[in-house]
Amino acid sequence: MNDRLTELLVAIVSYVTERDGYVTKTKLLKLVYLFDVEFYRSHGRIFSGFQWKYFHLGPWTREFDPILDQLVARGELTEDRVERPEFDAKFLRSTGPADLRRPFDNYRDEAILKELLDTWGPSPTGEILDYVYFRTEPMEHGVRSENLDFSRVLQQLPGTYKRSASHKTDGEIKKLRREFGQKMATRLSSPTFQFTEPRYDEEFRMAMEKLDSDDV
């Protein structure tokens, strides 16, 4: 069993439930998929090593269930069944505190996971499924029952526009602003348009007289 992968699963469950969220098997699987997408965006490879397929509930892998069963059998995760008229589900919990650092060698990858969980951890499973199905590149270009192609993931999402910083000093900027203000004041205080009386020739007068006679 991949120790880093099991540490990832436990970390996800711990982090979400400690913040009053819930985790079911389906939700956990989709969160791992979303992390693989973002990890691929940064590294050009997925973290889990799963063979993801386009299934009827979105991305799925047969490798997930045996790993989850082993974590429950070892006591690292517990399952609490909740039976209600509207649903029958097993909610996962961790027996230890959340530690997002354990699966990774650097803070950057931990930050990717933390941002993902802060965004989607509190969300209901249905909302995550909707996003996964229609807003992630491997699923957008996927073929049902075929392996998902993570090479479709954009390496860099378009960022928000940021104005480039000036290399001028504060004194130079103040001087330029003062000069600009003076130029604008000069323009506003002087007329920018001069009206010139039109010069009407004989042809114009004859044309006007014809229009006047037509109106009578």
Tell me the pLDDT tens digit for each residue of 38-55.
999 999 999 999 999 999
pLDDT at 203 over 70: no
**Closest by Cα among 127, 125, 99, 128 to 114:** 99
Domain residue extents for the chain: 3-152
103-107, 138-142, 172-176, range with the lowest pLDDT: 172-176
**Closest by Cα among 151, 177, 165, 190 to 41:** 151
**Closest by Cα among 27, 15, 209 to 111:** 15
Q: Which residues contact 82 (CB under 8 A, 6 or more apart)?
A: 88, 89, 90, 91
Q: Among the residues of the chain, which ranges form H helices?
A: 3-18, 25-43, 64-73, 107-120, 125-135, 137-140, 170-189, 202-215
What secondary structure letter does DSSP report for 150? G
CB 19, CB 93: distance < 8 Å: no
- Maximum Cα–Cα distance for the chain, whole Å? 107
End-to-end CA gap in the chain: 103
Q: What is the mean pLDDT of residues 154-176?
A: 63
For residue 90, what pLDDT is reported? 86
CB 14, CB 79: distance < 8 Å: no
Number of neighbours of residue 148 by Cβ within 10 angstroms: 28
pLDDT at 85 over 60: no
Distance in angstroms (rounded) separating the CA atoms of residues 73 and 95: 12
The model's pTM is 0.71
Token pair recorded at residue 148: 């998902």
pLDDT at 158 over 70: no
Q: Identify which has the larger pLDDT, 32 or 174.
A: 32
**E strand intervals along the chain:** 53-55, 58-60, 77-84, 87-94
pLDDT at 7 over 60: yes
For residue 216, what pLDDT is reported? 42
Distance in angstroms (rounded) separating the CA atoms of residues 157 and 184: 41
Q: pLDDT over 70 for what percent of the chain?
A: 74
Per the DSSP assignment, residues forming a β-bridge with 24 are 91
**Closest by Cα among 144, 132, 129 to 36:** 132
Average pLDDT, the chain: 84
